[in-house]
Amino acid sequence: MAPAQRSRPKGDSRRDKNHPARPTVAPIESAATALRHVRGRLEIVRAVIVVSRLALDAQAADADRDIAVTLKRCVTDELERQIEQIDGILGVCHDLDPVSTVGERAA
């Protein structure tokens, strides 16, 4: 049996549908940029919650203290965990493309 004939000339670098090209760095850059934006917004939310919690603590009413503790334990702490996870993901992106600025931390 004769070997199958190529449908494209030898040296044609296009890939067919069954063998997609490997992803380029562009999707990593795009994802990293999106994560940096999300991280920045989370930092703002965390700052607002901290200020609110401090104001509630200063009022010194029992209900206000309970709300302040709830904000810290349920919201601020979880935001911190999510921000740390984003930092970890951005670090992995940077390791995949160490020449880029993917892993730079948001200000």
Nearest to 107 by CA among 56, 32, 37: 37
86-93 LR contacts (CB < 8 Å, sep 24+): 86/35, 86/38, 86/39, 86/42, 87/39, 89/35, 90/32, 90/35, 90/36, 90/39, 93/28, 93/31, 93/32, 93/35
Domain ranges of the chain: 25-96
Confidence of residue 107 (pLDDT cuts 50, 70, 90): very low
Task: Report the pLDDT averaged over residues 35-42.
Answer: 90
Nearest to 91 by CA among 80, 79, 82, 104: 104
Report pTM. Answer: 0.55
Nearest to 104 by CA among 87, 80, 84, 79: 87
- For residues 83 and 39, give the distance between their C-alpha atoms in angstroms, rounded to a whole number: 6
Mean pLDDT for the chain overall: 75
pLDDT of residue 29: 79
Say if CB 65 and CB 57 are below 8 A apart: yes
